[in-house]
Amino acid sequence: MPGEQISKVIASKSPSHPVGSVVRAFSGWRTHTLVSNEQAQGIGRIPEMSDLPLSLALGTMGMTGMTAYFGFLELCQPKEGDTVLVNGAAGAVGSLVGQIAKIKGCKVVGCAGTDDKCKWLKELGFDEVFNYKKVDLSEALKAAAPDGFDCFFDNIGADFTATALKHMKQFGRVSICGQMSVYNNKELPRAEYPFMLILGKQLKVEGFNVMRWYPRWAEGEKVMAQWIKEGKIKYKETITKGFRNMPNAFIGLFDGANTGKAIVTA
């Protein structure tokens, strides 16, 4: 089973990775991993964590955090005073995007699928929050942002997105991070085709994979560490202890049992 982990080197013939050093790698679900010299090229450095917990290197200080940081800032180009929409906002990435948008002086509208998640989003400082399962989406978006959205960070796709695009402002920016509503489809869903809206509103829409910014991760990690220490970025982790409990932690990803990043520790 694939998975990213933080590991301690307990035996080594490589001067780059001496015994006792800590590495971040996509080693999969393993207690011990033997890595050849060639594979060792793919072992990543750990960010500068100072006194932050190591687990953050898999979440807010890792791929999750960099996805929010670069995917939002680079593609949405938020400016102070902009109005930002985030769906799947209680997810590990969405919750960070909303907080980053607040740091940048934006008004942030988020939605999630349970009232508890919505309550947490308010605690994080989201300006407007709604449970999308309990509202008429178009009315809720209109109420939350009567003048429309400058930025939209999309985790959901299809019908949600087709509706949200109608509430974008001229020259709005859309960053496509995920399409949760589509992943399980065997074929692409049919929905209102959005190009006429993208044309009429002169929107810029872009999809991304965070690895395109891998050469710049150290830059993002540094800023994220600073924000965490300043209390501007809050995070949740659901920590499961013991490798043998890994399957339960995994199932938790799908039944909503986890909040924030799911972490398994030895």
Report which of 111, 60, 116 is spatially closest to residue 85, judged by C-alpha positions: 111
Residue 105 binds a second copy, judged by CB under 8 A = no
Residues 169-188 that bind a second copy (CB under 8 A): 176-179, 182, 187-188
Report which of 93, 91, 124, 131 is spatially closest to residue 108, judged by C-alpha positions: 124
Structure tokens at 160: 């949600």
Please, where are the H alpha helices in 19-61?
Answer: 37-40
Between 193 and 254, name the residue whose CB sits nearer to a second copy: 193
Interacting residue with a second copy among 136, 139, 192, 219 (CB under 8 A): 192
Between 5 and 181, name the residue whose CB sits nearer to a second copy: 181
Nearest approach, Cβ of residue 47 and a second copy (Å)? 24
- The secondary structure element, H or E, covering residue 23 is strand 22-25
What is the pattern of x (binds a second copy, CB under 8 A) and - over residues 144-163?
----------x--xx--xx-
Residues near a second copy (CB under 8 A), total: 34
Helix (H, G, I), strand (E, B) or coil at 107: strand
Query: Phi and psi for 245 in degrees, rounded to 5?
Result: -90, 5
Between 208 and 243, name the residue whose CB sits nearer to a second copy: 208
Burial grade of 246 (CB within 10 A; 0-12, 13-18, 19 or more):
middle
Residues 203-262 that bind a second copy (CB under 8 A): 203-209, 212
Between 43 and 197, name the residue whose CB sits nearer to a second copy: 197
Nearest approach, Cβ of residue 195 and a second copy (Å)? 5
Interacting residue with a second copy among 2, 13, 186, 193 (CB under 8 A): 193
Structure tokens at 151: 């930025």
Between 118 and 205, name the residue whose CB sits nearer to a second copy: 205
Between 188 and 266, name the residue whose CB sits nearer to a second copy: 188
Report which of 117, 88, 107, 252 is spatially closest to residue 181, judged by C-alpha positions: 88
Report which of 150, 99, 152, 97 is spatially closest to residue 124, judged by C-alpha positions: 99
Interacting residue with a second copy among 103, 191, 223, 246 (CB under 8 A): 191
Query: Phi and psi for 168 in degrees, rounded to 5?
Result: -80, 155
DSSP string across 212-234: GGGGGHHHHHHHHHHHHHTTSS-
Residue 138 binds a second copy, judged by CB under 8 A = no
Q: Which residues bind a second copy (CB under 8 A)?
A: 154, 157-158, 161-162, 176-179, 182, 187-209, 212
